[in-house]
Amino acid sequence: MPAELETVERVRRIDVDQYRYGFETIIESEKAPKGLSEDTVRFISEKKNEPAWMLEWRLEAFRRWQTMQEPTWARVDYPKIDYQDLYYYAAPKKKPELASLDEVDPEILKTYEKLGIPLREQEILAGVVRPEGERRVAVDAVFDSVSVATTFQKELKQAGVIFMPISEAIREHPDLVKKYLGSVVPTSDNFFATLNSAVFSDGSFVYVPPGVRCPMELSTYFRINERNTGQFERTLIIADKGAYVSYLEGCTAPQRDENQLHAAVVELVAHDDAEIKYSTVQNWYPGNSEGKGGVYNFVTKRGDCRGRNSKISWTQVETGSAITWKYPSCILRGDNSRGEFYSIAISNGYQQVDSGTKMIHLGKNTTSRIISKGIAAGKSQNTYRGLVSAHRKALGARNFTACDSLLIGDKCGAHTVPYVEAKNASALFEHEATTSKISEDVLFYCVQRGLSQEEAVGLVVNGFVKDVLQQLPMEFAVEAQKLISISLEGSVG
């Protein structure tokens, strides 16, 4: 039990310190008034200098949203959200300004250290402010990602890749945005996506022109820059004919945010022969020892394999959030298109995860593959929810699904809810599912060889999720591996 207590204690301390650092210092005038009305939507659009068509698009979504009901089918349980009691726009959140790492909670630093995050980057993540002159030098010289980003931007431009905040893209590439925004996740799609459409703050826009292989992972750049995009993120990625892009979202460092509700939308479009690989690591604040606080993460992610031979692959590592509601999906529209979903979802403490995927086979000879690894510890609930469907015309559709759950302790739960719909006889769907408890004998074997109990759990779990970890970009996989161990700390008593 001491390990668990220690974790509880740690989480409590971090909480308290967050307030000491003053998340209350947001400049009032930059905030939209509390609550959601047409005025809020206009306020946001105006703040972003958006063209009239964008405002109209948002307003339409808002009107639609007012007629919708919050979904209740997921296996998650949370107090009713009062949508009129939330802020929908605040100027980029001001991080507490600190003079040096000495002022940062040592527990947070310990986590950074365990993750192997370089010192300078630790400073940036923790919000350490350097004097003006020193800062530039330090950032350029020590922390690659930012200086590299500038170099990257040049290289991307040469390749013709557009990669910018979506708010900029709305102004600079209105034709592309108009054409694709909402074309995969329509404004009317679901309660949370519609809400996002009305009030989204920012996010990224990527367009890879025909035949271009994006010359780099759109990743390192992101680790730093994505922190402040706010609670209603909107991402749109288009790979034109024969293009390829690998995009990495998120950060292994713990992300803390006073916004409880996060409702992001991600849309991917792959044209003929194009491929998009989208990887996520989600590590939002999971809530305190009693399950209070913590982020509610209601995300709509969908990829449209619009063209022939196109491919979309989702890989996710979910370790954070109090509640996760997330089903990255693929619409396999083009003939011979392929969708993949690789997922690691870890829940500990009082976390509730309801996640999975949908593979919608519409085109001929479309294939999909689902590998889901759910790990439940503490008092958490971990549900895999998946849908595989084949349309009447989707001749020769194939799916392989493997869902494995691992339980640590006996107060948690793992659930698998697979739906299968085949509207034609030629579809071939295979489904395998296993649920197992972490074996005491295996843990003892490891500790007999010198590993601590927690190291042993980390090692065994990393073995369990290996197939999915392999799908992540190399340097990220190493961090994810450490993150998995960290998120299971205190899971064994």
Choose, by CB under 8 A, the member of 28, 72, 440, 474 that binds another protein: 440
* Binding span for another protein by CB under 8 A among 325-333, 354-362, 413-421, 434-442: 434-442
Sites for another protein among residues 71-90 (CB under 8 A): none
The three-state secondary structure class of 162 is strand
Retrieve residue 302's tokens. Answer: 């969908």
Whole-number Å distance between alpha carbons of 401 and 430: 6
Report the nearest approach of another protein to the CB of residue 311 (Å). 26
Which one among 446, 457, 486, 488 touches another protein, defined by CB under 8 A? 446
CB of 168 to another protein, least distance (A): 43
- Residue 29 Cα distances to 26, 36, 94, 265, 373, angstroms: 9, 17, 13, 27, 45
CB-wise, 315 or 365, nearer to another protein?
315
- Which string of x and - marks every residue 387-426 that binds another protein (by CB under 8 A)? ----------------------------------------
If binding is defined by CB under 8 A, does position 442 make contact with another protein? yes
- How far from the centroid of its chain's Cα atoms is residue 139's Cα? 26
Pick from 152, 102, 141, 140: nearest CA to 122: 102
**CA torsion angle for 482, 355, 234, 200 (degrees, to 10)?**
-120
Nearer to another protein, 36 or 443 (CB): 443
As measured in angstroms, the least distance from the Cβ of 406 to another protein is 11
Query: Residue 481 CB, nearest distance to another protein (Å)?
Result: 10
Output the six-digit token pair for 253. 């460092």
Write down the least CB distance from residue 443 to another protein, Å: 9
302 and 186 in contact (C-beta within 8 Å)? no
Instruction: Render the burial of 307-332: b for 16+ CB within 10 Å, e for the rest.
Output: bbbbbbbbbbbbbbbbbbbbbbbbbb
Please report how close the Cβ of residue 119 comes to another protein at its closest, in angstroms.
21
CB closer to another protein out of 140 and 455 = 455
Instruction: From 23-31, 167-175, 245-253, 442-450, give the range in contact with another protein by CB under 8 A.
Output: 442-450
Task: Mark the segment that binds another protein (CB under 8 A) among 130-138, 256-264, 330-338, 441-449.
Answer: 441-449
Q: For residues 198 and 403, which CB has a smaller minimum distance to another protein in the complex?
A: 403
CB of 382: closest distance to another protein in angstroms? 19
* 444 is an interface residue for another protein by CB under 8 A: yes
- Rounded to 10 deg, the angle between the 2-20 and 106-115 helix axes is 110
Beta-carbon-side half-sphere exposure of residue 432 (alpha carbons within 13 Å):
7
Looking at beta carbons only, is 215 or 463 nearer to another protein? 463
- State how far Cα 490 lies from the chain centre: 24
Distance CA 313, CA 303 (A): 9
CB nearer another protein, residue 69 or residue 448:
448
Pick 295 or 492: Cβ nearer another protein: 492
Q: What is the DSSP letter of 100?
A: S
List the one residue from 428, 430, 445, 475 that touches another protein (CB under 8 A): 445
Q: How far apart are CB 471 and another protein at their closest, in Å?
A: 14
C-alpha 281/C-alpha 250 separation (Å) is 5
Which part of the chain contacts another protein (CB under 8 A), choosing from 144-152, 202-210, 273-281, 440-448? Answer: 440-448
Task: Pick the closer one to another protein by CB: 291 or 490.
Answer: 490
In angstroms, rounded to a whole number, what is the distance separating the alpha carbons of residues 347 and 479?
Answer: 18
Residues contacting residue 334 through CB under 8 Å, at least 6 positions apart:
272, 305, 306, 307, 308, 309, 310, 363, 366
Nearer to another protein, 133 or 450 (CB): 450
Q: How far is the CB of 454 from another protein (least distance, A)?
A: 10
Q: Based on CB atoms, which residue is closest to another protein, 80 or 449?
A: 449
For residue 91, what are its two tokens? Answer: 């100027």
Nearer to another protein, 58 or 373 (CB): 373
Task: Report residue 492 as tokens.
Answer: 């064994």
Residues 447-476 that bind another protein (CB under 8 A): 447-453, 455, 459-460, 462-467
Q: How far is the CB of 462 from another protein (least distance, A)?
A: 7
Closer residue to another protein in complex, CB, 170/469: 469
Q: Which residue has the tokens 């220690």?
A: 6
Please tell me whether residue 412 adopts helix, strand or coil conformation: coil
Phi-psi region of 67 (alpha: psi -120 to 50; beta: other; left: phi over 0): alpha
CA–CA distance, 485 with 493 (Å, rounded to integer): 15
Please tell me the count of residues contacting another protein according to CB under 8 A: 23
Shortest distance, CB of residue 344 to another protein, whole angstroms? Answer: 12
Judged by the rule CB under 8 A, the positions of this chain that interact with another protein are 439-442, 444-453, 455, 459-460, 462-467
